[in-house]
Amino acid sequence: MLLADRSARGLAGTVLATVLATVLMGCGGGERSPLDRTTPPTSVPPAAATSPPRPTSVHLAPAPWTLAVPISREVLVTDGTTIYLAGGLDGAGASSGAVRAIDPASGVQRTVGALTYPVHDAMGVWRDGRIVVVAGGSPPIRTDVQAVTPGAATTVVGRVPAPPRADHVVAEVDGTIYALGGGDEAATLLGTVVASSDGGATWRAAGSLVEPVRYPAVAVVDGLIYLFGGVRTTGGLDTASVQRYDPRTQQTMVVATLPAPLSHSTAVVLDGVVFLLGGYVDNRRSAQVWRFDPATAAVSVTGATLAAPVSDSAAVVIGGVGYLVGGEGADGEPVPTVTVVRPAR
């Protein structure tokens, strides 16, 4: 969302445990009479593989550290050990160009680069040792794909097809980056999906959404991309639809309905289950946590709540633990808070 849209709005894998048990029962020892019949050994088949129960909710706790500066609508990615934060909307209401590396254990933060074009409402991925930032708003809304190697200069490696795109989501599946939905300001909603297999240098059409949306939450589970809610009209109305995009067929379908219309929320995948954190519920900023099970397409309210309502955060998962970073608080201003999200069973 660009700044004009922000004011118009108002406040605006799975760890598998395998147990194999094989019990062999042989014949007993001792002398047998010639008349005795030998009893064949009895074989007990191995026990079936078991896995931990799927999480039903989450444990939420404030991280022992906060961001150096408040930020919302940022790009957040990880290489598996370090959190990288790029761009976003700062406390002055301007797009940030800063790129920072954060140690999730200690909270130590350092600047490792700067975007060529400061953006917010962009999204990105970690790929080949670089942070790939796709489009976003400055303003103006951009088509640029920026790649940042931590500690080195940023380069513009490509551009998404016109029109410019912000408020979209980005996901990577099997080496291909997908950009889905978004818009160019509040006047246009994009239902298109575009894809890049070369790190953002070139893009191709890759299908469309059932419902064009801005600001959905996004999650990838088992090679499928899920979009949760989003702004579905230029007038700002939200949808309760859960859309599933299949990169193999380039087809999208609605697979579930959320308890209420939702937008500006953030998804975290823990042990194959998606948890939706905060966002606008019925057009009001919320502290809610909802659960979506891709195996059954069931949606439920967990009963867990964030410490305070928040929207427009970003999240990563490292070692099975989620980190919900920044966002906009109850007053609509960026916050420095970080929430640690762990699965609960």
Domains in the chain, start-ordered, CATH in brackets? 3-19+45-344 (2.120.10.80)
Give the pLDDT of residue 52.
Answer: 74
Query: Nearest-CA neighbor of 172 among 202, 206, 195, 205?
Result: 195
Count CB neighbours of 202 within 10 A: 14
- Residues 211 and 187: their CA atoms lie apart, in Å, by 16
Give the pLDDT of residue 186.
Answer: 65
Q: How is residue 69 written in tokens?
A: 């500066």
Give the pLDDT of residue 14.
Answer: 35
- Measuring CA to CA, how many Å separate 32 from each of 5, 36, 40, 42? 91, 6, 14, 19
Give the pLDDT of residue 185.
Answer: 65
- Residues 108 and 184: their CA atoms lie apart, in Å, by 36
84 neighbors 98 (Cβ within 8 angstroms): no
- Residues 297 and 1: their CA atoms lie apart, in Å, by 29
DSSP class of residue 8 equals H
- Residues 295 and 269: their CA atoms lie apart, in Å, by 13
252 neighbors 191 (Cβ within 8 angstroms): no
Q: How far apart are the first and last CA of the chain?
A: 36
Q: How is residue 323 written in tokens?
A: 């980190």
Q: How is residue 138 written in tokens?
A: 């400055």
24 neighbors 41 (Cβ within 8 angstroms): yes
- Measuring CA to CA, how many Å separate 131 from each of 156, 203, 266, 300, 312? 12, 17, 19, 34, 20
DSSP string, 200-222: TSS-EEEEE-SS--BS-EEEEET
CA dihedral sign of residues 203, 205, 208, 212: positive
Q: What is the Cα gyration radius of the chain?
A: 24
Question: Cβ contacts of residue 249 below 8 Å, gap of 6+?
Answer: none
Q: Where are the alpha helices (DSSP H) in the chain?
A: 3-9
Are β-strands 224-228 and 217-221 bridged in parallel, bridged antiparallel, or unpaired? antiparallel
Task: Give per-residue burial for 273-294: e unless 16+ CB within 10 Å, then b.
Answer: bbbbbbbbbebebbbbbbbbbb
Give the pLDDT of residue 107.
Answer: 97
Cβ burial of 63 (10 Å; 0-12, 13-18, 19+) is middle
User: Per the omega criterion (within 30 degrees of 0), is the bond before 140 cis?
Assistant: yes
Question: Cβ contacts of residue 300 below 8 Å, gap of 6+?
Answer: 290, 291
| Residue ranges of the chain with per-residue pLDDT less than 50 | 1-44, 47-48
User: Using one digit for the tens of pLDDT, what is the confidence trace for 231-254?
Assistant: 999 889 999 999 999 999 999 999
Question: Cβ contacts of residue 247 below 8 Å, gap of 6+?
Answer: 173, 174, 176, 178, 195, 206, 223, 224, 225
Query: Nearest-CA neighbor of 229 among 218, 221, 301, 220?
Result: 218
Give the pLDDT of residue 188.
Answer: 87
